[in-house]
Structures are given as structure tokens and as C-alpha cells.
Amino acid sequence: MLSQFLQFLFSGITVGATYALAALGFTLIYNASNVINFAQGEFIMLGGMLAVLFAQMGLPLPVVLLLAVVIPALVGILMEKIAIEPVKGADTVSLIIITIGASLIIRGLIQVWLGKGTFSLPAFSGDAPIHILGATLLPQSLWVLAVTALLVAALWYFFSHTLTGKAMLATSFNRTAAELVGINTNFVLFLSFAMSAGLGAVGGILVTPITMTSYDVGIMLGLKGFVAAVVGGLGNGLGAVLGGLLVGILEAMGAGYISSAYKDAVPFVLILFILFFMPRGLFGGKSTDRV
């Protein structure tokens, strides 16, 4: 009983960490621009696929990791420059469609370039499972959790202790006021796309040894990251992380105890319930309308 529960919990926390990174990506961009970036999932896919590609070329692991994070970040920047900056202030539907267009382009290019196959990456430090109270934990899961925790801590430090981080926060609270005190909000937008693409890519690389990857994994991963971000109250960084873990754990529990066929439905049932009863997510603030 306990070992089974622990087993589901371990796998839930592991995927949950990826969702958390994706949700943080959504949050960063949303805060900088009010855009919901439907291409977020493609950055996760890009990270995983590029890591596989460079690893197959025989490059050393640190170089592989670096390239597989930096290239998606550059793609994020490119997307921001070409598609988001020129249409600033467009309405929600138009922005959603632009980001969906971008995601189709990224997914389509990878499909043409690397094919429709499913790929895996060797685990960073072996496959020997660790036994805990009858449940097994893959060493790669520890990598996922440790790196995610480090990134979250680094982001916390960035937003609370550096001038650039504070400028990004200020922009998310009130764009006009931020501009008035001399913050370059275009740079904030630029940085938020680079950071969230990089975060997504890191998540994608880390889980690839466990879940494998292919050109089309980005859709579901991205949508679940979006669910996680909304669960946490869109725009709330800590909420996004907790939302990601919650979505991951519930999904694993649902798959284990209820039905593995309906695993992918769990996050969406969850989000409908949460939105019905707490329309601004679990950790979202109250909103008021300006007339």
C-alpha cells in the first residue's frame, strides 16, 4: 500500500517538476506582457530533442546541456522580436493565435529536420534505481528535482535581490509606472522570453531520459504547464511551482488508482473544478474591475 503510494508520488513529483518549470515560463511571459505563450510546450520539446541530437553527435554532456538550453532561449528571443513586440497591445485572441502560429512553425521545422521518431537520452548518472520503503526512485528523478529546486531558488534570488529582477516585477505590477521610472519594458519582455524558453528547455532535457521525447510532445506538456500556471493563480511564481507539483502528483495518482487511460484528462478536470469554485486559481489574488 505505502510502497505503491510512494511510487506514484515519486513519478508525480518528477513530471510535476517539469510542469512547474513550464508554468514558471508561462508566468514570466504573462507578467511581462499579459501574453499566454502557447509555444511554451515547444521550448520543452526543443530542449529534449536538441539534447538528443547533440548527444548523438558525441559532444560531452556539459556542452550538450549548454547548447540545448541556449538555442531554445535564442528561439524564444527571435519569436519575441518577430511576432510579439510588433503587435504589443493586441487583444487576447490575436495574441493566442500568434503564439500558436509560432508553436506550429517550431514543431513543423523539428519534424522536417529530425523526423517523427521517438528518442531518448542516457540518464545523467546511471539507471540503477534507489529503493525507498519498497518503492523505487530513478537517479534521474533526483536530477530533475535538484535542478528544479536550484532554478526556483535562483529565480527567487533574482527577483528579490537584483535590480533587473525587481525591474521585471515592477513591470508586471504596472507597466506604465515602470516605464515612467525609467525601466526599459521592452528589455523586460525580451528577457522574459529568453528566460522562459530556457526554463522550458531545461525541463525538457531533464525528463527526456525518463519519458522520452518526439517532435509532438510539446502540445500536451505545454497545455499542462498552462494548467499548472492557472492552478497557481496566473502570474504568481510560487503558485506556478506548487501548481506544477500538484498537477503532476494528481496525474500520477489518477493514473495509478483510477485509470491510466484517463491520465491526461486529470489536469483538465482539476482545472475546471478549481476555476468553478476559485475563479482566480488557488493562489491568485482578488481582482477588481475598473469602469
Partner 1 sequence: MNKNASFGLGLVVAVLLVLPFVLPNSYYTDLAIRMAINAIIVIGLNLLIGFAGQISLGHAGFLGIGAYASAVLPTHFGMHPLLAMAAGAAATAVIAGVVAKPIFKLKGNYLAMATLGLGIIINIALRNEAQWTGGPDGMAVPALSVLGFELSSDKQWYWVVAALLVISVWASLNIIDSPFGRALRALHGSEVASQVVGVNIVRYKVSIFVMSAVFASIMGSITAHYIGFVTPNFADFFHSIELVTMVVVGGMASVFGSIVGAVLLTALPQALATFEGWETVVFGAVLMLCMIFLPKGLVPTLAAKLGKGE
Q: Give me the residues that bind partner 1 (CB under 8 A), please.
A: 30, 36, 83, 86-87, 90, 92-94, 96-98, 100-105, 107-109, 111-112, 219, 223, 226-227, 230, 234, 259, 261-262, 264-265, 267-269, 271-272, 275-276, 279-280, 289, 291
- Minimum CB–partner distance for residue 239 and partner 1 (Å): 14
Sign of CA dihedral 217, 32, 146, 46: positive
- Minimum CB–partner distance for residue 102 and partner 1 (Å): 6
Minimal CA–CA distance to 95: which of 151, 144, 33?
Answer: 33
Pick between residue 94 and residue 174 the one whose CB is nearest to partner 1. 94
Cα–Cα distance between 244 and 193 in angstroms, integer?
19
Listing DSSP states for 23-60 in one string gives HHHHHHHHHHHS---TTHHHHHHHHHHHHHHHHHTT--
How many CB atoms neighbour CB 88 within 10 A?
14
Pick between residue 227 and residue 246 the one whose CB is nearest to partner 1. 227
- Minimum CB–partner distance for residue 6 and partner 1 (Å): 27
137 by DSSP, 3-state: which?
A: strand
- Minimum CB–partner distance for residue 87 and partner 1 (Å): 6
Take residue 247 and report the three cell numbers written for it.
498537477
- Minimum CB–partner distance for residue 281 and partner 1 (Å): 8
Pick between residue 206 and residue 234 the one whose CB is nearest to partner 1. 234
Assess contact for 43 and 75: CB atoms under 8 A.
Answer: yes
Pick between residue 63 and residue 74 the one whose CB is nearest to partner 1. 74
Minimal CA–CA distance to 149: which of 24, 276, 290?
Answer: 24
Pick between residue 15 and residue 271 the one whose CB is nearest to partner 1. 271
Pick between residue 179 and residue 264 the one whose CB is nearest to partner 1. 264
- Minimum CB–partner distance for residue 101 and partner 1 (Å): 3
Cα distances from 257 to residues 14, 18, 204, 210, in angstroms, run 18, 22, 27, 21
Residue 57 burial by CB count (10 A; 0-12/13-18/19+): exposed, middle or buried? Answer: exposed
Pick between residue 37 and residue 140 the one whose CB is nearest to partner 1. 37
- Minimum CB–partner distance for residue 108 and partner 1 (Å): 3
Assess contact for 231 and 207: CB atoms under 8 A.
Answer: no
Query: Which helix (DSSP H) or strand (DSSP E) does residue 223 occupy?
Result: helix 218-231
- Minimum CB–partner distance for residue 117 and partner 1 (Å): 14
Cα–Cα distance between 15 and 142 in angstroms, integer?
12
Pick between residue 182 and residue 276 the one whose CB is nearest to partner 1. 276
